[in-house]
A = this chain, B = another copy of it.
Amino acid sequence: MSSIRSTKSTIRDIASHAGVGAGTVSRVLNNHPHVSDSTRAKVLKAIEELNYRPSFSARQMRTGKSQVIGFITDEIASTQFAVNIIKGAQAVAWDYGKLVLVVNSDGNRAIEYEAIEMMLERGVDGIIYASMFHRQAQLPDSIHEVPAVLIDCFLPDRSLPSVVPDEFGAAHEATEILIRKGHRRIGLINLGGEAKPAIEGRLAGYTAAMQAHGLYDPDLIVHGGDEGAGRHGYASAMKLMKLTERPTAIFCAQDRIAAQAYRALHELGIAIPNEVAVMGFDNHIDVATTLSPLLSTMALPHLEMGQWAVEYLLSGAGEPLEPVQVKLPCPYIERQSI
């Protein structure tokens, strides 16, 4: 439709077009209080006519703020359901009028360090570092040159604010839910691998609940192997079912473990949830809603952690961020397996 407006107009072009000074244009652009309605209208009209678009790089040079935040993650792909962290972070940033620079490191520390360097060069207003599973992180000193928040991980010296799932509370609640349903013999198939805080937190939460009700029995606990993807779930469930006093409920510390447990129970001809109830953990949507019966599980608050991180990052109005360590609750998702 329109002609050749190659989007090249500057603040001065619209100034002369509107017959005002450059400063005035800047003022209306930034909604300054002291500018008459008539001139504001003229300027707005000129902006419209010349198809003006402000240059954020120029603006950044003056103000020092880029309106961009950096987001670094270690393994965006391995636990794909965790993209909700990014989604939550980006959505909140958007509400603040900011855009998000995303880099996936694939767990390569050199890339993470360089990513931080590149973001600093771009003058990001803040950086968020997200791990895809709860663990301790290691970051370069330069991270402290800008406001930063950690998701699903923490620094050895706790010098940065972080938000993680409340593993203990979630496991405790999951166990309580099962107990409330009348179960006395509740097995736990824990996860393996390097997610220490998750492994220990979930075990502790389960243990505390069981002990509080005088139900604790170490035979009911199966520790995870390192095969990954919950592949030990099958053998673990089999083992649990061979107990003389076999459990009437199994708490799987991961939905993928639950999927394998389902398979074992199925082969044994044991009905879920009538003979044995199964509780998952993660709310790994592709797994939980593909299983039959649908899996009841504790949801990891991915979206919420992403939101919290950006919210906290941006709330700090430039002040140095208090290095709080926040634990977010994991809601129980009731479906059909309990």
From A56, A61, A142, name the one whose CB has the most chain B CB atoms within 10 angstroms.
A56
B-side contacts of A123, CB under 8 Å: 55-57
Contacts of A55 in B (CB 8 A): 61, 121, 123
Cβ contact within 8 Å between A99 and B101: yes
- A302 to B327: give the CA distance in the assembly, Å: 34
Take A53-B120, A60-B57, A101-B99 as given contacts and tell me if A77 and B68 are in contact as well, using a CB distance cutoff of 8 Å: no
Q: Does A202 contact B (CB under 8 A)?
A: no
* Interface check A290, CB cutoff 8 A: yes
Contact, CB under 8 Å: B84 / A77: yes
The reply to whether B100 and A101 form a contact with Cβ atoms under 8 Å apart is yes
Q: Using Cβ atoms and an 8 Å threshold, which residues of chain B touch A141?
A: 1
Could you tell me the distance between the alpha carbons of A227 and B186 in the complex, rounded to whole angstroms? Answer: 36
Nearest CB of B to A138, in Å: 16
- Chain B contacts for A286, CB-based, 8 A: 80-81, 284, 286-287, 290
B91 touches A104 (CB 8 A): yes
| Alpha-carbon distance A272/B332, docked complex (angstroms) | 35
Size category of the A interface is 35 or more
* Shortest Cβ gap from A286 to chain B (Å): 4
A89-103 interface code vs B (CB 8 A; 1 in, 0 out): 011001000011111
Beta-carbon contact of B68 and A122 below 8 Å? yes
**Are A290's CB and B256's CB within 8 A?**
yes
Asked if A66 is at the interface (CB within 8 A of a chain B CB), the reply is yes
A271 at the interface (CB under 8 A from B): no
A87 touches B81 (CB 8 A): no
Q: Kindly report which residue of chain B lies nearest to residue A60, judged by CB atoms.
A: B57
Instruction: Decide: B122 and A104 in contact? CB cutoff 8 A.
Output: no
Chain A 30-60 near chain B by CB (<8 Å), digits 1 or 0: 0000000000000000000000011111101
A83 touches B77 (CB 8 A): yes
- Is A285 part of the binding interface, using a Cβ–Cβ cutoff of 8 Å? yes
Task: A263 to B55: give the CA distance in the assembly, Å.
Answer: 57
Q: How far is the CA of A91 from the CA of B105 in the complex (A)?
A: 9
6 CB contacts below 8 A, A to B, read A80-B286, A86-B104, A91-B104, A100-B103, A102-B102, A256-B290
Query: What residues of chain A have their CB less than 8 Å away from a CB belonging to chain B?
Result: 1, 6-7, 53-58, 60-61, 66, 68, 76-77, 80-81, 83-84, 86-87, 90-91, 94, 99-104, 111, 117-123, 141-142, 145, 229, 256, 259, 263, 284-287, 289-290, 292
Name 9 extra pairs, CB < 8 A, besides A68-B101, A68-B122, A99-B118: A53-B120, A56-B123, A57-B57, A86-B102, A87-B104, A94-B111, A100-B101, A102-B102, A286-B287
